[in-house]
Chain A
């Protein structure tokens, strides 16, 4: 805090692990622009073969609220009315719904149309608020930069061939069992 910003703005990163699957927030990267944010996100989050698409969004564009925050100050239920004639835009709604062990955070649960983020939060709550929701994220569709179909070969395919990154290819259990057998034979 106070040190000069040499690390650039933060972008939240969302990962899709199969075509048509729900995007999930996996963490963030710093970058000077969305294009490099995507590159950095690829380097940081795609060393394993389970990504088919990435979104990056400037962290400042996202409205994030925990259940505790919403309970503490209920004024979000009465957002200021948008100015007359304000056009509605698309907002993506992400939620955290489970306390189970996970490597991802909020998951995509749908879209709403609204004039601004505050109104989008209220509409999201009306539409997707059933059952416990621990965290809400409202993400303007216009703030998303997505990897493209043409990027798949260069960004995501290479991870498929690197099987040596998977623990299953090292047969340590068998090797250890054989070593044990050898030791017992040597003793006998």
Chain B
């Protein structure tokens, strides 16, 4: 027993030294159980967010205002499906299975980014989601690209490279609509008002309430705290939104010369918890859509499996090793 504990202490020290040297931890390497569990939690939630994240915007594919905008939106939603796949793969390297993860999503146990439980009411929501929601996601993901766990870090590098266009297509539309007809300007203003606060909540709980932050920073999973990232995002976004003549729905927002920060008003964490716990405007609709897609795909999975079985038996008859 004593030796076991001593071994674990030595292994932990070696693990932390590797992270301090900037080495990536790879599948097969020793890692503390808590590191593995925290990563499975984070990566699977992230994967679910990509998958559920297809739904709010996907609803507008058939109503895009032009063929070009339709192709752009289709490509973006396809990317999100792919990003979910990269992330499920990364979680699998830690011993989680797709069955478990999908089951947890479909039966409502798993969490995903609460921002996707808000409705998309007009086409301008597609523009604002691209600029604000994807912009916030990219900030978080750029930080996670430095993550000490190799598979998660690589998935993030690939996702960040691909998401550049998601943010820019949304930003382009926001700029054009802000300079467009009064109706277009009104639409984009309305969308910013509805998405601003849910976007700020995407960065997670304030640092003093975020229970996992300390260990995640220590083990190089994260390199910045929730509040730091949120502040960076606000500082980048506020001047740009204002240049377009659009208003930010925060009467308490002001620029603090001393810290050079845009200080934002209080975030409604009650609303955040309500949405996380399942009572957001669209939680049921989102999970319902995922369940329906899973059930309606059943015959495809069965057909593909039957085809594979047939191929194996045909090869067997021909004497070709299966």
Residues of chain A having any CB pair with chain B under 8 Å = 1, 3-8, 10, 26-30, 32-33, 35-36, 43-45, 47-48, 64-66, 68-69, 96, 99, 101-105, 134-135, 162, 164-167, 169-172, 175-176, 179-180, 182-183
Contacts and interface: CB of A to CB of B under 8 A. Distances in A.
B99 A69 contact: no
Given A99-B22, A179-B179, A172 B168 contact: yes
A103 B23 CA distance: 15
A32 B157 contact: no
B95 interface: yes
12 contacts: A7-B102, A27-B155, A32-B304, A43-B82, A47-B78, A68-B28, A69-B29, A99-B22, A99-B23, A105-B151, A135-B28, A175-B175
B162 A69 contact: no
A44 B85 contact: yes
Contacts of A175: 172, 175-176
A170 B169 contact: yes
A26 B72 CA distance: 25
Given A134-B24, A135-B26, 18 more contacts: A7-B102, A8-B308, A27-B86, A27-B154, A32-B304, A47-B78, A47-B162, A66-B27, A69-B29, A103-B154, A164-B165, A167-B165, A171-B172, A175-B175, A175-B176, A179-B178, A179-B243, A179-B244
Interface of B: 22-24, 26-30, 68, 71-72, 75, 78-79, 82, 85-86, 89-90, 92, 95, 97-100, 102-103, 145-146, 150-151, 153-155, 157-158, 161-162, 164-165, 167-169, 171-172, 175-176, 178-179, 240, 243-245, 301, 304-305, 307-309, 311-312
Contacts of A164: 68, 71-72, 75, 165, 169
A117 to B, nearest CB: 15
Given A64-B28, A68-B28, A167-B164, A33 B311 contact: yes
B145 A101 contact: yes
Nearest to B304: A32
Contact of A6 (B28, B151, B172, B301): B301
A96 B151 CA distance: 12
Contact of B99 (A7, A47, A134, A167): A7
A165 B82 contact: no
A77 B27 CA distance: 21
Contacts of A5: 97, 99
A36 B312 CA distance: 13
Contacts of B23: 99, 134
A165 B102 CA distance: 28
A133 to B, nearest CB: 12
Contacts of A6: 99, 301
Contacts of B243: 176, 179-180, 183
B165 A170 contact: yes
A102 B240 CA distance: 31
In the A-B complex, the 6 residue pairs with the closest CB atoms = A32-B308, A167-B164, A3-B99, A170-B168, A103-B158, A33-B308
Contacts of A104: 154
